[in-house]
Amino acid sequence: MDVALEIVSSWFGLMNADGWIAREQILGPEARSKVPPEFQVQYPQFANPPTLFLVVAAFLERLQKPALYFGAPSQYLSDIALGTSFLRKIYPKLKTNYQWFCRTQAGNLTRYQGPGTFISQGYRWRGRTPQHTLTSGLDDYPRAQPPHPEELHVDALSWVGSMVITLNKISEFLGEKEDRRNFARQEEEIIHSIEQAHWSEPDRAYCDTTITRGTTPKKVCHKGYISLLPFCLGLMVPNSPHLGAVLDLIHDPEELWSSFGIRSLSTKDKYYGTEEDYWRGPVWININYMILERLLELARQRGPHQSKASEMYIQLRLNLVNTVFNSWNATGFAWEQYNAKTGKGQRTQHFTGWTALIVKILAMPPIPRTSSSQGGKISSKAVGARGLSTQLYIIAMVIAFFVYTFRRRLIKLWRKLR
C-alpha cells in the first residue's frame, strides 16, 4: 500500500498549476528513443482516464476498514493520523486535477436541452481522430462517424462521476462540509445526465451521443466496454431501472460474454474484430476486474438482481483465472490482452501491469451459489459441492502456478535432498 501511495504522490507531483498531468512521462534520452515521435509532444488539453483516483479511493476504504487489507505492513494504515495526513495533502491536488478535467473536456450541451430534458453534465475527449480516441484509453474503440465537436462520450462522463464519488468520500472523511454538499449534488447531476444523455431505450444500453442533420442529437451505440462504464464505476444503484439490461448485455454470449472473459466489443457490432482489433473484441483484465467488483457488490445485496449477479460473479471469476493461467502455462507470460475466441494471450508479453489484477481476482471472496427456488435469497448451506470444487480448483491453480514458476529451484532442492 505504501509503495502505491508513493507512486500516486509522485504522479501528482508532476501536475502543473492548472491541474494537467502529461499523458506520457518520457524521462531521459533512452526512454525518448523508444517513444514514437507523434507521442512525444504533449498537449495540455488532452486528458486520460483518471485512474489514480481509484487508488486513493481504495486507500480510503482500507483506512476506514483495516480488515480489508492483507498486504505488507503499511505505516499509513497502522497510524490513522498519518493516513489522514496523506489524504489532507493530496486532496487539494485531486480537486485541482478534477477541475482541470471538467474544464478541458467539457461538452457543448446547448443542443441537448429541450422540453422535459435538462442535462447539466457532459464531456468529450479532446484529441480524437476518425480512427482513434487515444485519450480515452480505448484507442480504436468505435465512435460516431464523422467526429463532431458537439458529440458527448459516455465513458468521459462516467470517469468524471468516478472522480466525484472519490472526492465526495474524502471530503466527508476530512470534515469538509461545504465540499461534501457540492460533490454530493454533482454526483446526482452526473447520474441524471448519464440517464438523460446516454441511455438508449431501443438499444437497451448506454451509448455515445452526437449531432446529426445539423441540430438533432442522436445516440450512437457500439455496445461494449463504454456501455458498461457507468456500471463499472459505481454510477448505477442496485434499484436502477436499467441495471437488468446492463447485466443481460454482459451475460449474453452473442454480445459480450465469452468463456474467456467479457469482450471489449459486441460480436454483433459491425466493427467487431476489424482493422487493428485492439479494443474491438479482445478481453482486457482491467475492465473485467471492475465488472467483477460490481457483480460482487450486487451479489451481497438483497434485490431483484442478486441471484443473477452471484452466478455471473462465480463463473466470470473462474473464466478469467482459467484464461490467464492457461496462457501462462502455455507461454510463461502474462499478456496485455486475451483473444475472446481462443483465450490465448496476445499483444505485449511480460505484461505485469493490469493483468496482474488476476492476483486480486484470485483473492476475491468465494460466494455461495443461489437457488431460484429460494427467490434469489442466499442460503447458508448453498455452497454445495460445486462451489467447494471451484474453490479447490482455484487453490490448485495457484499451487500449480507456484510450482511452474519455481520449478528449476524445486528440482535442485529435490536433488540435494536425495
Active site residues: 139, 336
The length of the chain is 418
3-state secondary structure of 210: strand
In DSSP notation, 235-292 reads -S-TT-TTHHHHHHHHH-TTTTEETTEEBSB-TTSTTTT-TT-SSSS-B-HHHHHHHH
Q: How far apart are CA 8 and CA 13, in angstroms?
A: 9
Q: How far apart are CA 183 and CA 189, in angstroms?
A: 10
Q: How far apart are CA 133 and CA 48, in angstroms?
A: 10
List all residues 6 or more positions away from 154 whose beta carbon is below 8 Å from its beta carbon.
Answer: 194, 197, 198, 206, 207, 208, 209, 226, 227, 229, 230
C-alpha angle 283/284/289, rounded to 5°? 115
List all residues 6 or more positions away from 155 whose beta carbon is below 8 Å from its beta carbon.
Answer: 49, 136, 138, 225, 226, 229
Q: How far apart are CA 140 and CA 346, in angstroms?
A: 16
Q: Are 209 and 111 in contact (CB under 8 A)?
A: no
Q: How far is CA 91 from the centre of its chain?
A: 22
Q: Output DSSP code: residue 17.
A: T
Q: How far apart are CA 24 and CA 9, in angstroms?
A: 17
3-state secondary structure of 199: strand
Q: Are 281 and 273 in contact (CB under 8 A)?
A: yes
Q: How far apart are CA 333 and CA 319, in angstroms?
A: 18
Cell of 269: 457490432
Backbone angles phi and psi of 58, in degrees to 5 = -65, -40
Q: How far apart are CA 280 and CA 278, in angstroms?
A: 6
